[in-house]
Amino acid sequence: RPVDDWWRSAVVYQVYPRSFADADGNGTGDVNGIRARLPYLADLGIDAIWISPWYPSPLLDGGYDVSDYRDINPMFGTLADADALIAEAHELGLRILIDLVPNHCSWEHPWFKAALAAGKGSPERDLFWFRDGKGEDGSIPPTNWPAAFGGLAWTRIDDGQWYLHLFDVSQPDWNWDNPKVIEEFDSILRFWFDRGVDGFRIDVADSMAKDPSLPDIVPAADGAVTRDKYVGHPTYDQPAVHKIHQRWRRIADEYADTPQGPRIFVAEAWLSPADRLAMYVRPNELHSAFNFDALRCPWEADEQREVIDHTTENLWAVGAPATWVLSNHDTIRHRTRYGRDQKEAGAPAGTVPTDLELGRRRARAAALLELALPGGAYVYQGDELGLYEVEDLPEEVLDDPTWERSGHTIRGRDGCRVPIPWSGTEPPFGFGPGQGQPWLPQPADWSALTVEAEVKDPDSHLSLYKEALRIRREQEALGEGRLKWDRNCPSDVLSFTRDPGFRCVVNLGAQPYDLPAQSEVLLSSEPLDDGKLPGDTAVWLKV
């Protein structure tokens, strides 16, 4: 594969630094913890690591509330540690992507503090969205926009003005119509590119531009004001957002001829249908974008096929690769989703029953499907171990702002952020040195899901991932390219070939399926039964 195109078919491993590995024993993961585990990641067979925000932050939204874009959170380490991590990863052949959070910062960012102090109409306030309220006393918020974690997207301050925060009250939105904001982010990109990072994952890449006339959101038929991203929405997918991405692409391209090769972007934008998402990955914009339609798709053959076709058609039309993702730090882990009634797969933690054994089988099959599809793929830390969503965390440890802002009714995203079990038979499972407990408690039965336990077991989730990634590197057919569906299979079976000489068959139903005779099995997610593919099982064949 041409090295310049590595990102078109890369398997990228997402590290959530708080929960990955704790070198200094304070109960929170850190940069040196990641460094110590780089050999594990290289051995797993991934191409790159994406590290969720590691910047100074009060961690009111897990670090997506950044107070300094050019440093490392002291809880996680130092800039020198980050430099060492980048260098050591590169030596092992692993590329490093970091997280850029351009829609908002933390209320502890010095520019926001200065804006609060500077007062109405000041240039400092113009870096954010400060507005007077409506009504005689200005007590009616400027618009009806809801915030992501509950409540309104506007908060009133002492002098009577309101500021905009599409997410938490602690995350004021930057005003991207202000040239100083634009220049600041140019400089932040260069700061990290110059330190050697290979690219950025762009947080809420569809939201930076707002309709400056600040219209209300159009309520749904029942009058509810939701976060649905309809066409023409005042804060999502505004045409002006593309100008920002085009500008960043030019900056990344300035680095294309350095010995390190191209620097890239992956967009996080919960946008569908796929033709709207495709706008973000046109040749002069971002390189790739997570496909969340696949993440949201139930374990159902027709729907899976439709998402795959729709995604690839739209992305290929603009020359971009597909980028598959099954889980991340915001969603119910897919082992759990697939173990639920598929009509309620994405329901909040603790609200619907889950069959974890069924989820385990399907998650293994889904891994083989994802890694056989054309394009690149993301693996969220712990998915390679078959971790499930921890749905019964004690209320007193819940940390996600969703819990607080929903008035303690929605448990939020902590259940997919529980620290990784590395070794041993009881918590903290080698997450940190000694017996100190991590910031979120791990379930006792994760003793069977530690890296140490799974490395030894050829039938473990980890062994399946390693073998799949090994074969993926070896098979010319995998990675970028096209797929061809096999017609005439039962409706519950997805079967496709990739040239040269590769077939993937996934049985999403319950009835065993007769595999084509004389095919050589490269890998299967469960043992085959006399030439038959059992239900909820995937197989890779050489043809």
Of 99, 198, 203, 391, the active-site residue reads 203
Structure tokens, 28: 């929170």
Query: 122 to 161, contacts with ligand TEU by CB under 6 A?
Result: 148
Q: Which of residues 325-364 bind ligand TEU (CB under 6 A)?
A: 329-331
- Contact between 170 and ligand TEU by CB under 6 A: the answer reads no
Number of Cβ within 10 Å of residue 223's Cβ equals 6
CB of 233 to ligand TEU, least distance (A): 13
In the complex, minimum distance from the CB of residue 522 to ligand TEU, in angstroms, rounded to a whole number: 34
Q: Find the binding residues for ligand TEU in span 416-475 (CB under 6 A).
A: none
| Shortest distance (Å) from residue 66 CB to ligand TEU | 9
| 3-state class (DSSP) for residue 283 | coil
Q: Is 514 a catalytic residue?
A: no
Residues in contact with 195: Cβ distance below 8 Å, sequence separation at least 6, in sequence order: 82, 83, 86
Smallest gap, in angstroms, from Cβ of residue 329 to ligand TEU?
A: 6
The answer to whether residue 132 is catalytic is: no
Q: Smallest gap, in angstroms, from Cβ of residue 217 to ligand TEU? A: 15
442: phi then psi, degrees, rounded to nearest 5? -95, 145
Kindly state whether residue 167 participates in binding ligand TEU, applying the rule CB under 6 A: yes
The amino acid sitting at 416 is C
Stretch that binds ligand TEU, among 107-115, 188-196, 323-331, 434-442 (CB under 6 A): 323-331
Among 43, 254, 392, 480, the one annotated catalytic: 254
Alpha carbons 364 and 535: distance in angstroms, whole number: 12
Provide the residue type at 68 as one letter: D
Near ligand TEU in 62-121, by CB under 6 A: 64, 101
Q: Specify the DSSP element, H or E, that contains 302.
A: helix 301-317
Kindly state whether residue 311 participates in binding ligand TEU, applying the rule CB under 6 A.
no
- Smallest separation (angstroms) from ligand TEU to the CB of 528: 36
One character per residue 261-280, x = contact with ligand TEU (rule: CB under 6 A): -------x-x----------
Is residue 61 at the binding interface for ligand TEU, with CB under 6 A as the rule? yes
Identify the CA nearest to 377 among candidates 322, 334, 431, 340.
322
- Can you say whether the dihedral through the CA atoms of 517, 521, 525, 528 is positive or negative? positive
Residues 362 and 339 sit within 8 Å (Cβ to Cβ): yes
Q: How far is CA 232 from the centre of its chain?
A: 25
Residue of 44, 152, 197, 204 that binds ligand TEU (CB under 6 A): 204
Size of the site for ligand TEU (CB under 6 A): 12
How far is residue 46's CA from residue 26's CA, in Å, rounded to a whole number? 28
User: How many CB atoms within 10 Å of residue 160?
Assistant: 12
- How far is C-alpha 377 from the chain's CA centre? 11
Q: Which residues are catalytic?
A: 203, 254
Positions in the binding site for ligand TEU (CB under 6 A): 61, 64, 101, 148, 167, 203-204, 268, 270, 329-331
